[in-house]
Amino acid sequence: MARFEKRGPRSPITQSIRVDKVHPRARVLRRLIAILSLLVALIMLLPVFVMGISAFKTRADVMSSPPKILFRPTLEGFMLLFTDRAVVSQARQEELQQEARAGKLTLFARLALEAGMEITGPSAYVFRLWNSVIIAGISTVASVVLGLFAAYAFSRFKVPGKDDLLFFILSTRMLPAVVVTIPLFLMYRQLGLHDKHLGMIILYTVFNLSFSVWLLKGFIDEIPKEYEEAALVDGYTRLQAFFRVVLPQAASGVAATTVFCLIFAWNEYAFALMLTSQRARTAPPSIATMMGRGGIEWSAIAAGSLGFLIPVVIVTFALRKYLLRGITFGAIRG
């Protein structure tokens, strides 16, 4: 019997050579699938598109009926988002207008002037965005790392009371946030964690851990045990086997978990609203409360949401290689 390994290429085959995949009909089908996916993506993005264009609309254009697709873009929304303003008197307005004519005012200052206002300083949004970066970033890393270790242990070892422990971990996510906040608020105030970055980091880590453990366990279960067993026989320690054999195989799962944990922590609203006030407040509660003189400032909210969305999209796009890669590459499942 011929040994395939002897004749086979050294590098793995990444492109299919099956007849049913290089056949013209298969190619047309693939093209069709590509076009269909593009269409689906565009439909999914329609509401995001509405948000995107609203960020560049004036207040009147946002509320126009029927909705406008063509309009003169303005940065008014971003000005409202990034600055604090005060209404100015007639005399001060004329003074500012002169400065504007002399070209001494910045873009935002001119936009504010058009609305009869003067910029008094940067808004809290910038500061809160930074809080979001710190809190969501650290808690995501923490929940993925802790979750990965726990998931590995639950997947590979005969942990006593495994099913009960796993269910306990899952159950920490089941109680509605609304009820948990009152005891949490009392507890955090006692411990001095209220309105602290550390408090929010711990909370979001815990919030994501149940998901992270369960999801990563799902991924690690898919990796055949035989890999590590082979490594152990070859003289790797358990830790080495974990880091050098299991971890690279689980990259796709780690990437997916990271994205989900980041999204949850980044966008969390209820806890942030109730457990922070000034120092550790994240951006989501402040986007939603962007009220102006004429009620809700849609363009500022749109601008804030857009700016808030972009970092997550970038992270996800950067991880797409791992997200979309297979887990086991044709390994034999145990």
Partner 1 sequence: MPSTRGQGNPPPASSVGSARPHLSDRAIQNLFIWPTLLLLIAVNLFPLLYSLYLSFTNFLAVQNKPPKWVGLANFATILASPEMWRYFATTGRYALITVGLQTVIGFGLAMLVRRKFFGSGLITTLILVPMMISPVVVGMFWKMIYNPNFGFFNFLLGAGDAGKGLDMLASKWFGASTPGLALIAVAIVDVWMWSPFVMLLVLSGLNAIPEYLYEAAAIDRASPWFQFRRITLPQVAPLLLIAVLFRTIEAFKSFDLVMGMTGGGPGDQTELIAINLYRQAFQGTFKTGFSSALAYIILILIIAASNLYIKYLNQIKGEA
Taking residues 216 to 235 in sequence order and writing x for each that binds partner 1 by CB under 8 A, - otherwise, the string is --xx-xx---------xxxx
Distance of closest approach, residue 208 Cβ to partner 1, in angstroms? 11
Q: Which of residues 158-177 bind partner 1 (CB under 8 A)?
A: 159, 165, 167-177
Query: Residue 104 or residue 320: which is nearer to partner 1 going by CB?
Result: 320
Please, are residues 84 and 119 in contact by the beta-carbon 8 Å criterion? yes
Query: Residue 115 or residue 177: which is nearer to partner 1 going by CB?
Result: 177
Q: Is 317 in the site for partner 1 (CB under 8 A)?
A: yes
The string of DSSP codes covering 299-321 is HHHHHHHHHHHHHHHHHHHHTHH
Distance of closest approach, residue 253 Cβ to partner 1, in angstroms? 7
Distance of closest approach, residue 11 Cβ to partner 1, in angstroms? 16
Q: Is 320 in the site for partner 1 (CB under 8 A)?
A: yes
Query: Residue 227 or residue 236: which is nearer to partner 1 going by CB?
Result: 236
Q: Which of residues 40-59 bind partner 1 (CB under 8 A)?
A: 40-41, 44-48, 50-51, 54
Token pair of 32 as six digits: 């069709």
Torsion region of 13: left, alpha or beta (phi above 0 gives left; psi -120 to 50 gives alpha):
beta
Q: Which of residues 246-305 bind partner 1 (CB under 8 A)?
A: 252-253, 256, 259-260, 263, 266-267, 269-270, 284, 287-288, 296, 298, 301-302, 305
The string of DSSP codes covering 254-289 is HHHHHHHHHHHHHH--HHHHHH-SSTT--HHHHHHT
Distance of closest approach, residue 98 Cβ to partner 1, in angstroms? 37
**Separation between Cα atoms, residue 211 and residue 34, nearest integer Å:** 32
Query: Residue 83 or residue 305: which is nearer to partner 1 going by CB?
Result: 305
Q: Which of residues 64-123 bind partner 1 (CB under 8 A)?
A: 64-67
**Separation between Cα atoms, residue 127 and residue 137, nearest integer Å:** 15
21-26, long-range: CB within 8 Å, 24+ apart, which pairs?
Answer: none
Query: Residue 31 or residue 293: which is nearer to partner 1 going by CB?
Result: 31
Characterize the bridge pairing of strands 291-292 and 83-87. Answer: unpaired
Would you call 144 helix, strand, or coil by DSSP? helix
